Structure 1
């Protein structure tokens, strides 16, 4: 009977890993796919490789945090309770992936464990409180940082990068030799190649960061119950993530790469830098990063900031309008050099809100990203309250 339960537990854990691959590939490589720097298949392959590297190196520390620190009472994690937890985590993530909305795997997993902890009176509220505070602060920082860059600095950054996306693929696979190797596409310019390489590299960095925090969401309950070996579960969990990246992640790549906001290559680089920096910072201080929400709010913030570059900043003194004061005047590299003030760009350089920011899709994404963790938290709490809490009384 125990062997059967263990098989069921591992299967549910792999189901969670599958949905993690679907939920996190979009935020990591959505900008690269949206800017046509890489194909969905290429993004999935890189996601699988760098997620594994992150999980194998730093991820085991996060497994220990979720498997031991969040729950104060030993014996709460059992094989049976772990299966129930993983069922709610995987089921909630599947709902988000089905609707093409990448839900936060960390929020979903921690929410389910918190439901267990509240039902059994074993939740460490200090640890939970510090995690929750950062979950609120980090997306706000991501949104406003990207929004300010989009509103005030984007034209200057765009001129620095100066990359025009050409027709056709950025990279192609040369199969003429014994070992296939990537080569530049037939129409790819040198600057486009450089910029595309940068945004892909940052996507790999985000995939690495995802592995450091998200592998725990799939395997921590079973490892905490001490019924499986850590290294084996890391390998199996990463394999499941890879399957999710190649299959169900295509929906979330469409959502974050195309539907929310138009992402030219420069915008993709900005989003990737902002969100990956925040995720790495949270990982360093030991917080399970809400990877999906940070990346999504960064995309939304950049699109909103760019869409609001429509009015010149002026100062009215004694009824007369004085010349505008732009951020470029404060950030010029050379004397006399100045980025165009808001409203001074050429008409073609000012995108409309409809082009850059889709409120309907954004609303659907933000609603689902809060609903999915609530499903796992409330479901786990109700189940353990009704069926399992009596076991520890």
Structure 2
């Protein structure tokens, strides 16, 4: 009987890992895919590789936190309770992935475990409170830092980087020799290659960070029930790989294209800010809301860029001023000066609607709150009934 239950537990854990791959690939590589740097297939392969490295190394610490420290008595993690917890985690994440919105796996998993802990009277509220505070602070930090960069500093950064997509393929394959050799495209510039390397490398770093924090969301309940951690990490990463190569295509579209139009410079800015916050949280042992931080960084940058498209028609003392655009993000060519705020040519700047999609943003924010609530409330209600009327 226990063997059959354990197989069910493995199956549900794999389902959770599959949905984690779908939910986290978008924030890590959505900017690179949206900027046309890499394909969705390549994004999935890179996600799988670096997620595994993060899970096998630092991810063990977070597994121990969720499987042991979040509740006073780890004994509440039986095979039966672990299956129920994983069911709510996977089910809630699937709702978000089906809607094309990457939900926070950390919030969803911790919510389900917290539902079990509250129903059993074993939740460590001190640990839960510390995690919850950082979940509020970190996304706001990502949004406002990105917003400020988009509003005030992006033109200067764009002038420094000044990487526009060249015509033709970025890379080609020289098949003249015995071994095919990748080479740069005929119109590819050195600055463009450097920018591509940077944005992909940062995406890989984000995938690594995701592995350190998110592997626990798929396997921590079973680890608390006594299953070997190494086996669980291997199984979880395998499921993440499948999710990254399949269902993640929907979230890559949402994060790379639908929220805001991301040129290569913007992709680099988003990746640097969000990965920096995630790494900082991992360093202090907090299960990071990877998806929320990255998503809000993208939203913040799009909002900051859009707010530069304000029309001013009246002067301070009432004299009539000519209409001027407060310039959004122009794609300056190398060597061009970036216009100061209020000096941009309206004809050269995209509209706010082109830079920031409030409708899609609202859908993303709504679903990223609904999904964790589903897992938390569902787990609590289920365990409340089971503990009092069944077990």
Common fold by TM > 0.5: yes
1:148 aligns with 2:148: yes
Shift of 1:3: 0.6
Shift of 1:177: 6.2
Distance 1:319 1:31, change over 3 A: same
Instruction: Determine the structure 2 residue equivalent to 1:131.
Output: 131
- In 1, the alpha carbon distance for the partners of 2:152 and 2:242 equals 40
Instruction: Determine the structure 1 residue equivalent to 2:77.
Output: 77
Distance 1:178 1:365, change over 3 A: farther
* Maintained 8 Å contact 1:311/1:342: no
Instruction: Determine the structure 2 residue equivalent to 1:196.
Output: 196
Paired residues, what number? 379
Instruction: Determine the structure 1 residue equivalent to 2:224.
Output: 224
Shift of 1:346: 3.5
- In 2, the alpha carbon distance for the partners of 1:357 and 1:183 equals 35
Shift of 1:73: 1.6
1:369 aligns with 2:375: no
- In 2, the alpha carbon distance for the partners of 1:172 and 1:293 equals 36
- In 1, the alpha carbon distance for the partners of 2:240 and 2:360 equals 26
- In 2, the alpha carbon distance for the partners of 1:194 and 1:338 equals 21
Deviations along 1:264-302, one digit per CA (max 9) or x if unpaired, are 000000000000000000000111000001001100110
Deviations along 1:189-242, one digit per CA (max 9) or x if unpaired, are 22111111100000000000000000000000001110x211111111101100
Shift of 1:351: 2.2
Shift of 1:171: 3.4
1:206 aligns with 2:203: no
Match of 1:351, SS state, is coil
Q: TM-score, normalised by structure 2?
A: 0.91
* Maintained 8 Å contact 1:75/1:225: yes
RMSD: 2.4
User: Unaligned stretches of 5+ in structure 2?
Assistant: 327-335
* Maintained 8 Å contact 2:306/2:352: yes
Q: TM-score, normalised by structure 1?
A: 0.91
Instruction: Determine the structure 1 residue equivalent to 2:332.
Output: none
Greater displacement, 154-163 / 181-190: 181-190
* Maintained 8 Å contact 1:312/1:344: no
Instruction: Determine the structure 1 residue equivalent to 2:32.
Output: 32
* Maintained 8 Å contact 2:309/2:352: no
1:280 aligns with 2:279: yes
Distance 1:223 1:184, change over 3 A: same
Aligned residue runs from structure 1 range 1-393, under 5 A: 1-172=1-172, 182-226=182-226, 228-311=227-310, 340-388=339-387
Deviations along 1:347-374, one digit per CA (max 9) or x if unpaired, are 3553211111000000000000000000
Shift of 1:319: 7.1
- In 1, the alpha carbon distance for the partners of 2:224 and 2:180 equals 42
- In 2, the alpha carbon distance for the partners of 1:366 and 1:351 equals 24
- In 2, the alpha carbon distance for the partners of 1:363 and 1:224 equals 37
